[in-house]
Amino acid sequence: RPIETRKLRHLEACLRPESQYQKVKTGLDSVPWPYRALPESNLEEMRLDTVFLGRRLKAPVLIGAMTGGAEKAGVINRNLATAARNLGLGMMLGSQRVMLEHPDAWESFNVREVAPEILLIGNLGAAQFMLGYGAEQARRAVDEVMADALAIHLNPLQEALQRGGDTRWQGVTYRLKQVARELDFPVIIKEVGHGLDAATLRALADGPFAAYDVAGAGGTSWARVEQLVAHGQVHSPDLCELGVPTAQALRQARKTLPGAQLIASGGIRSGLDAARALSLGAEVVAVARPLLEPALDSSEAAEAWLRNFIQELRVALFVGGYRDVREVRGG
């Protein structure tokens, strides 16, 4: 089926180094991080547990939204879900449009079998809600996989740079709020790697959204991914680097919506990146692309990557002079 073939081509494109921003950086490198030569804490006792959307996580880490649809996507999702279960983390699923349109694709999103208790977040695109989707489809996306919440992704640049993309967005702000008001589970707004800007957050502020994932620039560029899929190479490299870098997006979001729950993602590659993102006010971080290769291999490989990442975060807090993760946020 075309939509499944497209998903597989997305995975292949994401594995290529050209899927990453080439010039724009997340800006996290220049976020100051303290160094304390005399820490008054014990590394292995550093508390990372965090309550997010009413659920307790053992570390403030979500597996980013990636895939679903094809059989290979099902293997990836089960490997990721198993790693999330073993480590007490949350997981975001990839876009469930394919599942709503082809019910047999459900199997590839069915991770509750291996991870009955994890915080699980479903996913649909904002553009779909301009093309006939409504509260019914949103409910199906969540109910059919027994998810706890739904993330709606905003991806205008990605849509604009693909053949036949969905580019009629006039009225989208009103539509998203209208749909979200009918839902009785948490709705999260996310970008896909070009960042949520301040004007967007202001426009959404009176909506019933539970959290915002800034998905900023500096990691995976979905504009680059779409061009790789369409042409085998990147045709408009300057457009592909547009967006709000992750560190800037977090600072703006903190200022624009001081009380909002923020997810930091887009180019989070190490535990120190995560620590810095938390210091800018994020509640949790999400990691996508670095987990793709390990997840194609095995749940053990995905778990090993995440264990190392979490240990790096712990070390960053320890030598930063923090006693637990709560002390870091909002600094």
Which residue's Cβ lies closest to ligand FMN?
219
Nearest to 201 by CA among 167, 184, 176, 166: 176
User: What whole-number distance in Å separates Cα of residue 10 and Cα of residue 268?
Assistant: 20
Count the residues of the shown chain that bind ligand FMN, applying the rule CB under 6 A: 25
The mark string for 203-232 relative to ligand FMN (x by CB under 6 A, - otherwise) is ------------x---xx------------
At 76 the three-state DSSP class reads helix
Q: CB-wise, 46 or 89, nearer to ligand FMN? A: 89
User: What whole-number distance in Å separates Cα of residue 218 and Cα of residue 25?
Assistant: 4
User: What whole-number distance in Å separates Cα of residue 163 and Cα of residue 103?
Assistant: 25
Are the CB atoms for 243 and 193 separated by under 8 Å? yes
Q: Tokens for 151? A: 């993330």
Smallest gap from Cβ 326 to ligand FMN, in A, equals 24
Our finding on whether 193 is near ligand FMN (CB under 6 A) is yes
Sequence-ordered list of residues with C-beta below 8 angstroms from that of 297, at least 6 positions apart, any chain: 79
The mark string for 55-74 relative to ligand FMN (x by CB under 6 A, - otherwise) is ---------xxxx-------
Taking the alpha carbons of 173, 176, 291, 167 in that order, is the dihedral positive or negative?
A: negative
Our finding on whether 287 is near ligand FMN (CB under 6 A) is yes
Q: CB-wise, 77 or 322, nearer to ligand FMN? A: 77
Q: Which of 62, 289, 305, 310 binds ligand FMN (CB under 6 A)?
A: 289
User: Site residues for ligand FMN, window 5-64 (CB under 6 A)?
Assistant: 10-11, 14, 64
Distances 133 to 14, 97, 175 between C-alpha atoms, Å: 27, 10, 10
* Among the residue ranges 37-45, 158-166, 282-290, 294-302, the one whose residues contact ligand FMN (CB under 6 A): 282-290
Cα 272 to the center of its chain, rounded Å = 18
User: What whole-number distance in Å separates Cα of residue 182 and Cα of residue 164?
Assistant: 30
Residue type, 47: R
Q: CB-wise, 273 or 303, nearer to ligand FMN? A: 273
Smallest gap from Cβ 34 to ligand FMN, in A, equals 25
Q: Which of 79, 108, 110, 123 binds ligand FMN (CB under 6 A)?
A: 123
The mark string for 126-165 relative to ligand FMN (x by CB under 6 A, - otherwise) is ---------------------------x------------
Backbone angles phi, psi at 148, to 5 degrees: -100, -20
Smallest gap from Cβ 305 to ligand FMN, in A, equals 12
At 20 the three-state DSSP class reads strand
Our finding on whether 295 is near ligand FMN (CB under 6 A) is no
Our finding on whether 285 is near ligand FMN (CB under 6 A) is no
User: What whole-number distance in Å separates Cα of residue 254 and Cα of residue 238?
Assistant: 28
Our finding on whether 256 is near ligand FMN (CB under 6 A) is no
Q: Are strands 61-63 and 284-287 parallel, antiparallel or unpaired?
A: parallel
Q: CB-wise, 153 or 276, nearer to ligand FMN? A: 153
- Per DSSP, 220 falls in state B
Which residues of this protein are in contact with ligand FMN, per CB under 6 A?
A: 10-11, 14, 64-67, 94-95, 123, 153, 190, 192-193, 215, 219-220, 265-268, 287-289, 292
